[in-house]
């Protein structure tokens, strides 16, 4: 026994939150149904999930003031010389992913918050139907996140002979237990995506999800995990982790523009009682039928004047909404917000998140919808067409000086620059497009 202990590497602790979905289902006379006891039935018998050492229990907060001991398992030693110890928190009432709403998202967020200090990372098992929406919602709800939260599921149940559940869960477990990627992510088919960039692209293939406008944060090969660290977002301030759970999706809607759509149809949606925000899926780079004097434009303009935030995203799988073509510019002049390259899932949940904050004005919500909060939008910095010649603005000069001080490791200079700044953002680019902590030329 002593020799076995010496062979084991250091441990990390991961909590698997089982909300439901295909991944934990089993066969029955009525078809596939959720299987209780997922850890015992699906994980304990598998050597890749259980080194057989019976490491005991882990305390898991099941509600705000009650901790319950849960059986834990431990993986074999990984390529990186570490073992992952984990427990499974099963919800008493499993969530149907096709029926999940803001209440279900809040339940997941609270489970993470209650156990945030007890575990190094979190995995959420979830049905694939609405997985993209849940990933996007949680990316906004989990504020100042400092640990990995990975959502995954499968197209076939873990207990089926041919399945993708084993690889999806094991890959998620390896990443959550080994790599500090402090984002809400989605892992599927050997790829780790930023959660609010992912969308479901297939109803049956194992490669069910894609991230059309953003590369994967990590990929798993037969030998190791390849993390694109330059893409990983990290906290830029010292605010503590918190959650916002009062999202209300009944105040937002999504409408897809199609050729020949009647302005009356759009107007009917925009006049739904209680509606405060609309995601408009338009053609190409943000185009819609009609012109500046068309009935459709007038309907949209009137809605904006009534205080409804309308966000323009493209129907295309890749690309961005921008003022490139006249129709998109017409919508912009009518007060519609350019959604850039946000997915529909990200735009809808972000709108619900912002509208739920009581102190944000209409103008501020509209402004924040076109700004990246959690990496949901590809950020672009200002372009300078000449080499700096000593005539930089004070703000740009300050950012540039800070970047050099950080690169050279001059802690005192860093402190002096930040202390002397009236306002500062570590995401502000200098003349070359570099931020204080990320260089575009590296």
Q: Could you please report the per-residue DSSP string of 222-255?
A: SS-EEE-GGG-----S-PPPEE-----GGGEEEE
Question: Which of 19, 22, 134, 400 is labelled catalytic?
Answer: 22
The CA distance from 312 to 315, in Å, is 10
What are the structure tokens assigned to 81, written together? Answer: 């010389």
Mapping DSSP to helix (H, G, I), strand (E, B) and coil, where does residue 385 land?
A: coil
Question: Which of 118, 119, 190 has the alpha carbon at shortest distance from 152?
Answer: 190
Rounded distance between C-alpha atoms, residue 86 and residue 82, angstroms: 13
Contact 426, 435 (CB under 8 A): yes
Q: Is 270 helix (H, G, I), strand (E, B) or coil?
A: helix
- At 309, phi and psi to the nearest 5? -80, 120
Backbone angles phi, psi at 277, to 5 degrees: -150, 145
Structure tokens at 396: 């740009």
Q: In whole angstroms, how far apart are CA 50 and each of 45, 47, 127? A: 7, 5, 24
Q: Which helix (H) or strand (E) holds 347?
A: helix 344-355
SS3 430: coil
The β-bridge partners of 84 are 12
Q: Are 402 and 418 in contact (CB under 8 A)?
A: yes
Tokens representing 378 are: 């590809």
Q: How far is CA 290 from the centre of its chain?
A: 35
389: DSSP letter = -
DSSP H or E run through 313: strand 309-314
Closest CA relative to residue 112, chosen from 122, 100, 125? 122
Q: Which DSSP string corresponds to 214-227? A: S--SEEE-SS-EEE
Residue 22 annotated to the active site:
yes
Catalytic residues, by residue number, are: 22
């Amino acid at each position: 026994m002593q020799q076995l202990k010496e062979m084991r590497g250091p441990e990390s602790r991961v909590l698997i939150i089982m909300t439901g979905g295909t991944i934990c289902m089993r066969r029955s006379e009525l078809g596939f149904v959720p299987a209780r006891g997922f850890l015992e039935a699906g994980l304990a018998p598998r050597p890749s999930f259980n080194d057989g050492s019976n490491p005991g229990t882990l305390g898991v907060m099941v509600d705000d003031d009650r901790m319950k001991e849960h059986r834990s398992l431990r993986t074999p030693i990984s390529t990186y010389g570490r073992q992952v110890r984990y427990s499974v928190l099963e919800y008493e009432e499993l969530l149907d992913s096709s029926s999940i709403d803001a209440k279900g998202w809040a339940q997941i967020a609270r489970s993470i918050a209650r156990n945030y200090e007890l575990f190094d990372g979190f995995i959420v098992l979830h049905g694939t139907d609405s997985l993209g929406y849940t990933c996007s919602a949680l990316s906004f709800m989990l504020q100042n996140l400092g640990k990995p939260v990975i959502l995954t599921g499968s197209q076939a149940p873990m207990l089926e002979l041919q399945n993708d559940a084993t690889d999806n869960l094991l890959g998620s477990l390896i990443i959550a237990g080994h790599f500090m990627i402090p984002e809400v992510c989605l892992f599927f088919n050997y790829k780790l995506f930023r959660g609010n960039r992912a969308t479901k692209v297939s109803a049956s293939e194992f490669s069910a999800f894609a991230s059309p406008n953003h590369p994967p944060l990590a990929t798993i090969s037969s030998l190791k995990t390849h993390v694109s660290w330059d893409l990983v977002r990290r906290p830029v301030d010292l605010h503590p982790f918190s959650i916002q759970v009062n999202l209300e999706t009944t105040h937002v809607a999504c409408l897809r523009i199609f050729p020949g759509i009647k302005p009356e149809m759009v107007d009917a949606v925009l006049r739904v009682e209680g509606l405060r925000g609309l995601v408009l899926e338009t053609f190409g780079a943000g185009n819609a039928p009609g012109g500046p004097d068309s009935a459709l434009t007038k309907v949209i303009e009137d809605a904006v004047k009534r205080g409804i935030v309308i966000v323009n995203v493209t129907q295309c799988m890749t690309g961005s909404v921008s003022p490139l073509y006249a129709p998109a510019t017409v919508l912009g002049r009518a007060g519609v917000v350019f959604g850039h390259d946000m997915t529909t899932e990200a735009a809808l949940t972000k709108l619900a998140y912002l509208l739920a904050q009581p102190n944000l004005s209409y103008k501020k919500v509209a402004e924040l919808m076109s700004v990246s909060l959690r990496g949901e939008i590809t950020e672009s910095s200002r372009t300078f067409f000449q080499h700096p010649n000593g005539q930089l603005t004070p703000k740009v000069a300050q950012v540039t000086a800070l970047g050099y001080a950080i690169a050279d490791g001059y802690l005192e200079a860093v402190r002096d620059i930040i202390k002397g700044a009236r306002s500062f953002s570590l995401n502000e680019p200098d003349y070359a497009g570099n931020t204080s902590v990320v260089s575009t030329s590296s």
